[in-house]
Amino acid sequence: MPAGVLAVIIDRYARRMNADLHRLLPADADERQALVDEAHARPPVPVGIPSVLTCIVALQDSAGAAERAHLARLEEAGVVAEEPGFLRASLGAATLQWERHTEFSRYSIVQPVRQSALLGADRPSLGAAVPLPPDWVRAIPGRTVVALQLCLLASEGQNDATAVALARAFLGSQRIAASRLAGGSARLFADFRVRPDGFMRALVLCEAMDEDAAGRLAAQIAELEIYRVMALRAFQPARTLSAALARNESGLAAISRAIQDGANEDMALLDDLMRVATEVETLIAQHTVRFAASNAYHGIVRQRMAELEETPIEGCVPAFVFLRRRLVPAMATVEAAALRLAGLSERTSRSSALLRTRVDIRNEAQSQDLLRSLTRGQRLQVRLQTTVEGLSVAAISYYVVGLIGFGAKSLSVGGVLPVSPEIAMGASIPVVLLAVWWVVKRARRLLHEEAGVD
């Protein structure tokens, strides 16, 4: 092992032991170091002036393994810093930085340039500002959503009118937007148009600014454009969603009127409501994530605009005013579509509750009718049972009295009975009736007690 490496290891071990001996705090939470390191994660690429920052953003549909493999094909790249979702490598005088985000990956290349070859030139070529093999660039995984070349040159004391003329020549357009940024320490010029090579171009004239400050400024401008485009990705889905929202709102209104009228069959209304609810939930599943992401991106755009502290340049439309002219209405459309979708879902739930209440009320009315029918049947059954019991008492008494008559005749023939059999039978009738009635009543009470009936 080299002596220098061994000395570094020993020094680190000694520092750690010394820190452990003098530590006055409880043990760290598992996530403490990661939370602290987050503030230092993915630092901006230092940008020397003059330089060109080339930013390529590609939408991703898969994990970062394909991008890692693609980066590994750059044999001449020397890795400077690397962590999950982040890599910085040197390409000679240039620097390449790769960042993996949730939906996209960002490739930033900083290439020093000669100011004299660009400032004052008429639509100069910036092809040399991408020191990467063309085939490698074309094979970057994903689909391009942003491609920006930000040229940062030193301001040479030009007044605003001269700077605007130089910027128009550089951009090859008379209609440009311009603003002072960062408290007046830089001037931004852009036409926000995609050129035949696929890149958007912007010029930044900087006052005295070190590499770190220029890197932060370039990163803020690039992020502003990236998140503006990402926020606008929800605009077209929001516009196309309006037809489906209008159709389902009309259908839900018709269902609500039918529920109020009470003339339609519940099952037919339930089928219609289920169809609306299913489509609404499908629309929510398709668009809610996109709308939420768009809202988050728009928040970042507003934050970057505030951080850059724009002030206008006379004779030109301010850059951020130009961007907000269409961005704000587009985001309002997205927000309105999201609110309509959420409101439609709530109204569908309320209509479902109303229909359920109507069905419950009808079921309760039917149950009450059924109970009334059962009550009437029970009353009839009680009456019938009472009648049958009366007939049973008479029939049983008739047979019992007949048996008594047969016994009385036998006793009369033997001379034992002092009265005639007819008198004996007649005298026994009240006794027999009372006895039979009491026995029947007693039997009914016992049966009711066993069945638990009052």
Residue 181 pLDDT level (bands cut at 50, 70, 90) = very high
What pLDDT is attached to residue 57? Answer: 96
User: Does residue 51 contact residue 110 with C-beta atoms inside 8 Å?
Assistant: yes
- Residue 444 pLDDT more than 90? no
Going by their DSSP bridges, the two strands 177-181 and 186-194 should be labelled as: antiparallel
From 261-270, 273-282, 332-341, the region with the lowest mean pLDDT: 261-270
- Residue 233 pLDDT more than 90? yes
From 36-45, 280-289, 315-324, 381-390, the region with the lowest mean pLDDT: 381-390
Concatenated DSSP letters of 58-89 = EE-SS-THHHHHHHHT-TT-EEEEEETTEEEE
- Residue 344 pLDDT more than 80? yes
Q: If you average pLDDT over residues 17-33, what whole number do you get?
A: 73
Quick: pLDDT tens for 93-146: 899 999 999 899 999 999 999 988 888 888 898 888 888 999 999 999 999 999
How many C-beta atoms surround the C-beta of residue 338 within 10 A?
21
- Residue 173 pLDDT more than 80? yes
User: Does residue 187 contact residue 205 with C-beta atoms inside 8 Å?
Assistant: yes
Mean pLDDT rounded to a whole number for the chain = 84
- Apex CA 135: angle with CA 131 and CA 141, to 5°? 100
What pLDDT is attached to residue 454? Answer: 56
Distances (CA, A) of 4 to 1, 129, 188, 297, 342: 9, 38, 47, 47, 64
Q: If you average pLDDT over residues 248-269, what whole number do you get?
A: 78
Query: What's the rounded Cα separation, in Å, for the pair 104 and 304?
Result: 19
Query: What predicted TM-score, i.e. pTM, was given to this entire model?
Result: 0.75
DSSP state letter for 317: B
Q: Where are the domains of the chain?
A: 44-218, 235-361, 387-451
300 vs 42, which has greater pLDDT? Answer: 300
Residue type, 128: A
Query: What's the rounded Cα separation, in Å, for the pair 389 and 88?
Result: 103
What pLDDT is attached to residue 104? Answer: 93
Residue 2 pLDDT level (bands cut at 50, 70, 90) = very low
Helix (H, G, I), strand (E, B) or coil at 111: strand
